[in-house]
């Protein structure tokens, strides 16, 4: 749960492959893996493409049900873009 005074999650989107999760400024709150990841990572950028600041990396072979929710959400300026180097499904949480 976010700290008092921090933004609360308001959006979520599931992804199974590389793409933009959210365009525009906001906060990245974390993720939930809903289908286990293959032996490859998922890299999350503050951008609408696979460049810029890396804000999170989900490790290879992460099991379904794994939650990576942040106590203090990360401010994003451009958007949230995820690059899947393998297979799996991830639910991204943002505002």
pLDDT in tens, 61-72: 999 999 999 999
Burial class (CB in 10 A: 0-12, 13-18, 19+), 82: buried
pTM of the model: 0.90
Q: What digits encode the pLDDT tens for the residues 31-62?
A: 999 999 999 999 999 999 999 999 999 999 99
Q: In what order do the strands lie in the sheet with 74-76?
A: 11-15, 89-94, 26-35, 74-76
Q: Where are the domains of the chain?
A: 11-94
In sequence order, the 6+-apart residues with CB closer than 8 A to the CB of 17 are 84
Strands 89-94, 53-58: pairing is unpaired
By the 8 A CB rule, do 21 and 69 touch? no
């Amino acid at each position: 749960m976010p700290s008092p005074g921090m933004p609360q999650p308001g959006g979520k989107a599931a992804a199974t492959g590389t793409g933009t999760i959210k365009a525009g400024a906001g906060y990245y709150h974390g993720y939930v893996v809903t289908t286990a990841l293959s032996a490859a990572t998922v890299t999350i950028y503050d951008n609408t493409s696979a460049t810029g600041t890396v804000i999170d990396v989900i490790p290879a072979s992460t099991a379904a049900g794994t939650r990576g929710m942040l106590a203090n959400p990360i401010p994003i300026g451009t958007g949230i873009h995820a690059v899947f180097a393998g297979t799996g499904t991830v639910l991204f949480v943002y505002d």
